[in-house]
Chains A and B, each alone.
Chain A
Amino acid sequence: MTTTAQIQPTFEAWRSKARELLKHGVAPENVDWVDASQTASLLAEQPADHQTAPNASVKVPADFLRLAANVCAHTDERRFAILYRLLHRVALGGEKHLLAMPTDRDMHQCNLWAKAVSRDIHKMHAFVRFRLVGVNEQNGREQFVAWFEPEYRITRLASPFFEKRFASMEWSILTPDECANWDGHKLTFMPGMSRHDAPAADAHDDLWRTYYRSIFNPARLKVQAMQSEMPMKYWKNLPEAEIIHDLIASSDQRVRAMIATPERPVKPAPNNAYLNSLRNKPEKLTSPAPASPVSAP
């Protein structure tokens, strides 16, 4: 007899449902996991019809919960089912060592999802760009808003980082799925919003682009390396990305100009007390190969 487990697509919802199913020993092949936010309750959840007596407690390693939290944030629709199968095998199937088995098919799949999610979290920490919108008149705290489009449902997982770092500011990060809001004391979450709810630019973006342009070395063009770490899907929300094409296009000309520049002659040393003192250097290390290490002072 198949049970339909209709849940909101969050780790908390999956965990409480999985705990309930596991207590009744429901086999993974008998559960049909449904994302309630996708189906909008077309399917009413069937009343549970569990044959076995509930197990008192289910214990799983802490590593499993960490893995599950990341996997649940993924968007692949098979994730809840495979995660439950993994849980069932670890908790009831006598395969306690599964978490140390990256070669197992279910573990492998979950690891891939978890890794994709943690990469997305890392990129969110990197690529969120706050825009100053005002100052709180009561306490003088600056207020910032950012717009970001993560690939997975990671707003909750990624937000504690911003809380620790920007605790003395007031900020909101808006995403299509869920928004995070920090008022200086408490982190709260709201439903998703649209790009138009966030400011499009910040007065400092120009200065930031100036820095980005100046720190780029045209003599070492490696566009592929840049794109593998900063995929183009993120570019539309990065203020510096709009000058990338110009930088690439002009790099050849700039390098030619460097190479065509006549070499500068050496200028004599100015008469400076400090420079003069350097000439009376202590004994120089002259051995060509550092086979004999210099002794510590």
Chain B
Amino acid sequence: MDLTRKLVILADAAKYDASCASSGAARKDSRDGKGIGSTGGMGICHSYTPDGRCVSLLKVLLTNACLYDCHYCINRRSSNVQRARFTPEEVVQLTLDFYKRNYIEGLFLSSGIVRSADFTMEQVIEVARQLREVHHFRGYIHLKTIPEASQALIDKAGRYADRISINIELPSQKSLDRLAPEKNLTNTMQAMHGIRQRIDENVNAKKAARQIVNRPRAKAPAFATGQSTQMIVGADDSTDALVLHRADELYRDCRLRRVYYSGFSPIPEPSVLLPIKPPPLVREHRLYQADWLLRFYGFDVGELLPKEDPNLDLDLDPKLAWALRNRADFPVNINRAPQELLWRIPGLGTVNVARILAARRWASLTLADLQRMRVNLKKVMPFIIAADHRPHIAQLESTNLRQQFLPGPRQLELNFNAPPPTTPADATMVLSGQL
């Protein structure tokens, strides 16, 4: 099989992994004239595909042959998809060739599980080893690890990679048992704890290496600076509350950098166990918004998802939905309130809150000031007090307030000549018989 055909199969096999981040790596470059590449600071998206996703890394599988039978996955053993396998040298060369042309930030390598977890891990690590040790590649490397692999191999992967990740896939063992029978939540979480320990140890070792007592400088050990995971949404009946509780637990206990939510989408080799209708893409979007509120805005899962309503409102962003349920906390005075309260105002992000805090030391802020910061006035006005604005209490208490924020009814097009082109959503509707 030629290289192009392998690339077609093994990139197609990797595209259901949502992660493409190339940020947060330790600073390194190739100004010593040896090797190639640099990382550090912001990641770069080198292109975008028409699905709106960024292309930052060469994201491929080493092989798409797999022993496991995960029903949401196109590479499961029950699928009839064509199988292929890269040699480590082929992936190394492809990465270097793409990198030198500035197509990519680096490599994201994963693999179907062949023979055993350890055997597979060794193959994946060999690619990273060649890149780092033979070619002195200083670009970004993200390695997917297998929770059942031995700790020694996971450690070795961490020494070559900037980021390592293990996909949790589904938020409960019950769902895994049904859709991914080989996967074990306890193993996965234990492996994540192990990685967290290594990352922490490395951070401490780096600090120690900087201490004056350790002069002449001890060389800090290299280890991945972060780990991430992915959860598939909509393939099982897990509620948003379950998904976010699990994510919150991972952020707290395993210090994950990111949890990616991947809305289940139809695959070319469907399984009998899967719903035919994918979840609306907006559900994934709302989960990401809620995830942000947990990490950067001081919200708890319980606040965003009260017990009686375990799923996020698809029509409103989660912060606005929270504010509408907690109107007694408003209006908030933007010239006086502490940061934590400003973060809770719908329509204000952390960047604009920082700007408000800086500017209000010198002047009392008005609506015009907010407008200059490109704040959506229509959204914030019912919830804030500014120097020249105080909302009507009646407006805040009005039952119509929610109505006001709902997306307008979509106008149906009356066009008798040319019917609008059908979309993939229409096709799904026709075949599943669901509206």
A-side interface residues toward B, CB under 8 Å? 97, 100-103, 105, 108, 122, 125-132, 142, 144, 146, 161, 163-169, 184, 202, 204, 206-208, 210-226, 229-230, 238, 240, 244, 247-248, 251-252, 255-261, 263-267, 269-270, 272-275, 278, 281-286, 288-291, 293-294, 296-297
Known: A166-B30, A225-B52. Contact between A290 and B171, CB under 8 A? yes
Please give me the residue from chain A that is nearest to B9 by CB atom: A214
B155: CB under 8 A from chain A? Answer: no
A146 touches B59 (CB 8 A): no
| B49:A215 contact, CB within 8 angstroms | yes
Which of B157-165, B222-230, B313-321, B359-367 lies at the interface with chain A?
Answer: B359-367
Per-residue A-contact encoding for B195-222, CB less than 8 Å = 1, 0 else: 0010000000000000000000000000
Whether A129 and B249, one on each chain, are in contact in the complex, defined by CB atoms closer than 8 angstroms, is: no
Q: Cβ of B101 and Cβ of A216 under 8 Å apart? A: no
Q: Do the beta carbons of A288 and B8 come within 8 Å of each other?
A: no
B410 CB to nearest chain A CB (Å): 16
**Least Cβ distance of B60 to chain A in Å?**
8
What residues of chain B have their CB less than 8 Å away from a CB belonging to chain A?
3-4, 7-9, 11-12, 14-16, 29-38, 42, 44-55, 58-59, 67, 69, 77-80, 94, 97-98, 100-103, 115-117, 139, 148, 171-174, 177, 182, 184-187, 189-190, 193-194, 197, 241-242, 245-246, 249, 252-253, 263, 265-274, 276, 278, 281, 355, 358-359, 361-363, 365, 369, 372-373, 421-424, 427-428, 431-432
Contact B266 A216 (CB under 8 A): no
**Bound form: Cα–Cα A284–B186 in Å:** 6
A221 engages B249 (CB within 8 Å): no
Contact B373 A259 (CB under 8 A): no
CB neighbours of B52 from chain A (8 A): 220, 222-226, 229
Are A266 and B78 within 8 A (Cβ)?
A: yes
> Contact: B148 with A229, CB < 8 Å?
no
Q: Across the interface, which residues of B come within 8 angstroms of A264, CB to CB? A: 78-80, 269-272
Known: A230-B48, A293-B252, A294-B193. 19 other contacts (CB 8 A): A97-B361, A101-B362, A102-B355, A103-B365, A128-B102, A132-B100, A166-B36, A167-B32, A207-B94, A214-B12, A225-B51, A226-B52, A261-B268, A272-B115, A274-B115, A282-B184, A282-B187, A293-B253, A294-B253
Is there contact, CB below 8 Å, between A210 and B7? yes
Chain B residues with Cβ below 8 Å from A288 are 172, 174, 242
Task: Evaluate contact between A167 and B45: CB separation under 8 angstroms.
Answer: no
Q: Contact check: which of B45, B78, B424 meets A252 at CB < 8 Å?
A: B424
Q: In the complex, A225 Cα to B48 Cα: how many Å?
A: 9
A-B contact pairs, 11 of them (CB 8 A): A97-B361, A103-B365, A103-B373, A126-B44, A126-B45, A207-B94, A230-B48, A264-B271, A273-B116, A275-B182, A284-B177
